Amino acid sequence: MTRARHSRRRDHSEDAHDEPDERWAVSYADMVTVLMCLFIVLFAVSNVDKGKYEELAGSLAAGFGQEDLGGGAVGVAELVLPSQPPSEETDLERRAALEYDSLEELERRMRSALTAEGLENTVDFVIDDRGLTAGLVGAETFFANNSTALSETAGRVLDTIGGVLGTVDNQLAIEGHADYRNAVAPFPTNWELSGGRATEVVRYLAEQEQIAGDRLRATGFSDTRPVADGDSAEALAANRRVDIVVESRETDAVRELIPSIERARNS
Protein backbone atom coordinates (compact mmCIF):
# COMPACT_ATOMS: atom_id res chain seq x y z
CA MET A 1 0.00 0.00 0.00
CA THR A 2 2.81 2.37 0.78
CA ARG A 3 4.39 1.64 -2.53
CA ALA A 4 1.14 2.43 -4.37
CA ARG A 5 0.79 5.78 -2.56
CA HIS A 6 4.37 6.68 -3.41
CA SER A 7 3.74 5.76 -7.02
CA ARG A 8 0.70 7.99 -7.21
CA ARG A 9 2.64 10.91 -5.65
CA ARG A 10 5.46 10.50 -8.15
CA ASP A 11 3.03 10.34 -11.05
CA HIS A 12 1.32 13.55 -9.90
CA SER A 13 4.67 15.36 -9.54
CA GLU A 14 5.79 14.31 -12.99
CA ASP A 15 2.48 15.45 -14.46
CA ALA A 16 2.91 18.90 -12.83
CA HIS A 17 6.36 19.33 -14.32
CA ASP A 18 5.07 18.46 -17.76
CA GLU A 19 2.94 21.66 -17.87
CA PRO A 20 4.78 24.84 -19.15
CA ASP A 21 5.43 27.73 -16.73
CA GLU A 22 3.74 30.80 -18.34
CA ARG A 23 4.42 33.36 -15.59
CA TRP A 24 7.01 35.06 -17.85
CA ALA A 25 4.24 36.04 -20.27
CA VAL A 26 2.79 38.51 -17.76
CA SER A 27 6.05 40.43 -17.44
CA TYR A 28 6.60 40.34 -21.19
CA ALA A 29 3.12 41.74 -21.82
CA ASP A 30 3.76 44.54 -19.34
CA MET A 31 7.04 45.43 -21.09
CA VAL A 32 5.40 45.43 -24.53
CA THR A 33 2.59 47.66 -23.23
CA VAL A 34 5.07 50.16 -21.78
CA LEU A 35 7.08 50.22 -25.00
CA MET A 36 3.94 50.79 -27.04
CA CYS A 37 2.94 53.69 -24.80
CA LEU A 38 6.44 55.15 -25.10
CA PHE A 39 6.34 55.09 -28.92
CA ILE A 40 2.86 56.57 -28.93
CA VAL A 41 4.01 59.41 -26.69
CA LEU A 42 7.08 60.05 -28.84
CA PHE A 43 4.90 60.15 -31.94
CA ALA A 44 2.53 62.57 -30.23
CA VAL A 45 5.41 64.82 -29.17
CA SER A 46 6.53 65.09 -32.78
CA ASN A 47 3.04 66.15 -33.85
CA VAL A 48 2.41 69.93 -33.89
CA ASP A 49 -1.29 69.42 -33.03
CA LYS A 50 -1.23 70.41 -29.39
CA GLY A 51 -4.86 69.53 -28.78
CA LYS A 52 -4.51 65.95 -29.96
CA TYR A 53 -1.33 65.51 -27.94
CA GLU A 54 -2.99 66.71 -24.75
CA GLU A 55 -5.89 64.31 -25.33
CA LEU A 56 -3.45 61.44 -25.78
CA ALA A 57 -1.43 62.46 -22.73
CA GLY A 58 -4.60 62.65 -20.64
CA SER A 59 -5.83 59.23 -21.68
CA LEU A 60 -2.45 57.62 -21.06
CA ALA A 61 -2.19 59.30 -17.67
CA ALA A 62 -5.65 58.09 -16.75
CA GLY A 63 -4.66 54.59 -17.81
CA PHE A 64 -1.58 54.75 -15.58
CA GLY A 65 -3.61 56.18 -12.70
CA GLN A 66 -1.90 59.61 -12.74
CA GLU A 67 -3.66 62.81 -11.78
CA ASP A 68 -4.43 65.66 -14.16
CA LEU A 69 -2.08 68.57 -13.46
CA GLY A 70 -4.57 71.14 -14.74
CA GLY A 71 -4.94 72.90 -18.09
CA GLY A 72 -4.71 69.62 -19.98
CA ALA A 73 -1.15 69.02 -18.81
CA VAL A 74 -0.72 65.61 -17.22
CA GLY A 75 2.06 63.55 -15.83
CA VAL A 76 2.97 62.08 -19.21
CA ALA A 77 3.55 65.59 -20.52
CA GLU A 78 6.59 65.79 -18.30
CA LEU A 79 8.37 63.74 -20.96
CA VAL A 80 8.28 66.76 -23.27
CA LEU A 81 11.51 68.74 -23.24
CA PRO A 82 10.99 72.53 -22.98
CA SER A 83 11.74 74.41 -26.17
CA GLN A 84 15.11 76.10 -26.10
CA PRO A 85 15.18 79.90 -26.37
CA PRO A 86 16.69 81.19 -29.62
CA SER A 87 20.38 81.91 -29.51
CA GLU A 88 21.49 85.52 -29.38
CA GLU A 89 22.83 85.29 -32.94
CA THR A 90 19.55 83.92 -34.25
CA ASP A 91 17.58 86.67 -32.50
CA LEU A 92 19.86 89.37 -33.91
CA GLU A 93 19.49 87.96 -37.42
CA ARG A 94 15.71 87.85 -37.07
CA ARG A 95 15.57 91.45 -35.86
CA ALA A 96 17.93 92.59 -38.63
CA ALA A 97 15.73 90.94 -41.26
CA LEU A 98 12.63 92.63 -39.82
CA GLU A 99 14.38 96.00 -39.75
CA TYR A 100 15.53 95.57 -43.33
CA ASP A 101 11.99 94.70 -44.41
CA SER A 102 10.70 97.83 -42.65
CA LEU A 103 13.25 100.08 -44.37
CA GLU A 104 12.63 98.42 -47.73
CA GLU A 105 8.90 99.00 -47.38
CA LEU A 106 9.53 102.67 -46.59
CA GLU A 107 11.70 102.92 -49.71
CA ARG A 108 9.00 101.26 -51.80
CA ARG A 109 6.41 103.75 -50.59
CA MET A 110 8.61 106.74 -51.38
CA ARG A 111 9.49 105.36 -54.82
CA SER A 112 5.83 104.80 -55.57
CA ALA A 113 4.93 108.34 -54.51
CA LEU A 114 7.75 109.83 -56.60
CA THR A 115 6.77 107.78 -59.64
CA ALA A 116 3.19 109.00 -59.37
CA GLU A 117 4.51 112.58 -59.62
CA GLY A 118 6.96 111.82 -62.44
CA LEU A 119 9.93 112.37 -60.10
CA GLU A 120 11.29 108.81 -59.95
CA ASN A 121 14.75 109.85 -61.22
CA THR A 122 15.36 112.58 -58.68
CA VAL A 123 16.20 110.45 -55.63
CA ASP A 124 18.65 107.59 -55.08
CA PHE A 125 18.00 105.12 -52.26
CA VAL A 126 20.50 103.10 -50.24
CA ILE A 127 19.88 100.77 -47.29
CA ASP A 128 22.88 100.24 -45.02
CA ASP A 129 23.80 99.95 -41.35
CA ARG A 130 22.64 103.52 -40.71
CA GLY A 131 19.17 103.02 -42.13
CA LEU A 132 17.60 104.24 -45.38
CA THR A 133 19.29 107.09 -47.24
CA ALA A 134 17.35 109.14 -49.78
CA GLY A 135 19.94 111.01 -51.81
CA LEU A 136 18.74 114.10 -53.67
CA VAL A 137 20.39 113.57 -57.06
CA GLY A 138 22.10 116.37 -58.99
CA ALA A 139 22.82 119.68 -57.32
CA GLU A 140 21.22 121.73 -60.08
CA THR A 141 17.93 119.84 -59.62
CA PHE A 142 17.57 121.11 -56.06
CA PHE A 143 19.87 124.14 -55.75
CA ALA A 144 21.20 126.76 -58.09
CA ASN A 145 24.99 126.87 -58.40
CA ASN A 146 26.63 128.22 -55.23
CA SER A 147 23.20 128.71 -53.60
CA THR A 148 21.26 127.25 -50.68
CA ALA A 149 17.84 128.25 -52.04
CA LEU A 150 15.63 125.26 -52.86
CA SER A 151 14.46 124.99 -56.46
CA GLU A 152 10.84 124.42 -57.46
CA THR A 153 11.65 120.78 -58.23
CA ALA A 154 13.23 120.40 -54.81
CA GLY A 155 9.99 121.57 -53.21
CA ARG A 156 7.96 119.02 -55.20
CA VAL A 157 10.32 116.20 -54.22
CA LEU A 158 10.28 117.14 -50.54
CA ASP A 159 6.49 117.45 -50.60
CA THR A 160 6.25 113.95 -52.08
CA ILE A 161 8.64 112.10 -49.78
CA GLY A 162 7.79 114.28 -46.80
CA GLY A 163 4.27 112.87 -46.79
CA VAL A 164 5.73 109.38 -46.39
CA LEU A 165 8.33 110.42 -43.82
CA GLY A 166 5.58 111.91 -41.72
CA THR A 167 4.06 108.44 -41.20
CA VAL A 168 7.11 107.06 -39.35
CA ASP A 169 8.86 108.27 -36.21
CA ASN A 170 12.51 107.57 -37.06
CA GLN A 171 15.09 110.27 -36.55
CA LEU A 172 16.01 112.09 -39.78
CA ALA A 173 19.59 113.21 -40.37
CA ILE A 174 19.82 115.79 -43.17
CA GLU A 175 23.39 115.90 -44.51
CA GLY A 176 24.73 118.49 -46.92
CA HIS A 177 27.76 117.87 -49.16
CA ALA A 178 29.83 119.86 -51.64
CA ASP A 179 32.30 119.01 -54.40
CA TYR A 180 36.02 119.59 -53.92
CA ARG A 181 36.16 123.02 -55.57
CA ASN A 182 36.55 126.04 -53.30
CA ALA A 183 33.40 127.92 -52.39
CA VAL A 184 32.93 131.50 -53.54
CA ALA A 185 31.11 134.46 -52.00
CA PRO A 186 28.87 134.69 -50.13
CA PHE A 187 30.14 131.43 -48.58
CA PRO A 188 33.59 131.54 -47.01
CA THR A 189 34.05 127.75 -47.36
CA ASN A 190 32.24 124.65 -48.45
CA TRP A 191 31.32 124.04 -44.82
CA GLU A 192 28.90 126.96 -44.88
CA LEU A 193 27.58 126.00 -48.32
CA SER A 194 26.93 122.33 -47.45
CA GLY A 195 25.57 123.17 -44.01
CA GLY A 196 23.29 125.85 -45.46
CA ARG A 197 21.76 123.44 -47.94
CA ALA A 198 21.12 120.84 -45.22
CA THR A 199 19.50 123.52 -43.07
CA GLU A 200 17.18 124.59 -45.90
CA VAL A 201 15.93 121.01 -46.28
CA VAL A 202 15.39 120.72 -42.51
CA ARG A 203 13.40 123.95 -42.47
CA TYR A 204 11.23 122.83 -45.38
CA LEU A 205 10.42 119.48 -43.77
CA ALA A 206 9.61 121.15 -40.43
CA GLU A 207 7.64 124.12 -41.75
CA GLN A 208 5.96 122.71 -44.86
CA GLU A 209 5.65 119.00 -44.02
CA GLN A 210 4.99 119.47 -40.30
CA ILE A 211 7.67 116.97 -39.29
CA ALA A 212 8.53 117.43 -35.62
CA GLY A 213 11.68 119.43 -35.09
CA ASP A 214 13.05 117.01 -32.52
CA ARG A 215 13.24 114.37 -35.26
CA LEU A 216 15.42 116.53 -37.52
CA ARG A 217 19.15 117.22 -37.53
CA ALA A 218 21.16 119.23 -40.09
CA THR A 219 24.86 118.56 -40.71
CA GLY A 220 27.30 119.96 -43.26
CA PHE A 221 30.16 117.72 -44.41
CA SER A 222 31.77 120.11 -46.90
CA ASP A 223 33.68 118.01 -49.46
CA THR A 224 34.89 115.37 -46.98
CA ARG A 225 32.57 112.54 -48.10
CA PRO A 226 32.54 112.30 -51.88
CA VAL A 227 30.62 109.48 -53.54
CA ALA A 228 32.19 109.89 -56.99
CA ASP A 229 35.84 110.29 -58.06
CA GLY A 230 37.18 112.65 -60.69
CA ASP A 231 36.33 116.13 -61.89
CA SER A 232 33.78 115.32 -64.59
CA ALA A 233 30.48 117.20 -64.57
CA GLU A 234 28.71 114.02 -63.44
CA ALA A 235 31.15 113.42 -60.56
CA LEU A 236 30.93 117.01 -59.37
CA ALA A 237 27.12 116.95 -59.48
CA ALA A 238 27.01 113.65 -57.57
CA ASN A 239 29.17 115.09 -54.80
CA ARG A 240 27.06 118.28 -54.52
CA ARG A 241 24.16 116.64 -52.79
CA VAL A 242 21.88 116.51 -49.77
CA ASP A 243 21.12 113.15 -48.15
CA ILE A 244 18.07 112.46 -46.02
CA VAL A 245 18.97 109.56 -43.72
CA VAL A 246 16.08 107.72 -42.07
CA GLU A 247 18.02 106.38 -39.12
CA SER A 248 17.43 102.83 -37.94
CA ARG A 249 16.12 102.53 -34.40
CA GLU A 250 17.80 99.16 -33.84
CA THR A 251 20.89 98.46 -31.75
CA ASP A 252 24.39 98.57 -33.20
CA ALA A 253 24.64 94.75 -33.15
CA VAL A 254 21.48 94.44 -35.26
CA ARG A 255 22.35 97.26 -37.68
CA GLU A 256 25.73 95.70 -38.42
CA LEU A 257 23.91 92.75 -40.04
CA ILE A 258 21.80 94.89 -42.41
CA PRO A 259 24.46 95.34 -45.17
CA SER A 260 24.87 91.56 -45.50
CA ILE A 261 21.11 91.21 -45.91
CA GLU A 262 21.16 93.94 -48.55
CA ARG A 263 23.92 92.13 -50.49
CA ALA A 264 22.21 88.75 -50.22
CA ARG A 265 18.85 90.01 -51.46
CA ASN A 266 20.23 92.04 -54.31
CA SER A 267 22.93 89.66 -55.54
Angle (CA) 259-260-266 rounded to 5° is: 90
- Region 131-141: mean pLDDT is 83
Given pLDDT bands bounded at 50, 70 and 90, which one contains residue 76? very low
Kindly report the length of the chain. 267
Q: What is the pLDDT of residue 265?
A: 87
Nearest to 154, CA basis, from 170, 134, 169, 173: 134
pLDDT at 260 over 60: yes
Beta bridge partners of 172: 216, 246
Given pLDDT bands bounded at 50, 70 and 90, which one contains residue 141? confident
Q: What is the pLDDT of residue 77?
A: 45
72-106 as b/e: b if 16+ CB within 10 A: eebbbbeeeeeeeeeeeeeebbebbeebbebbbeb
Measured in degrees and rounded to the nearest 5, phi and psi for residue 123 equal -135, 135
> Is the overall model pTM greater than 0.85, yes or no?
no
Q: Which value, to the nearest 10 degrees, does the dihedral of the CA atoms of residues 200, 204, 207, 210 take?
A: -140
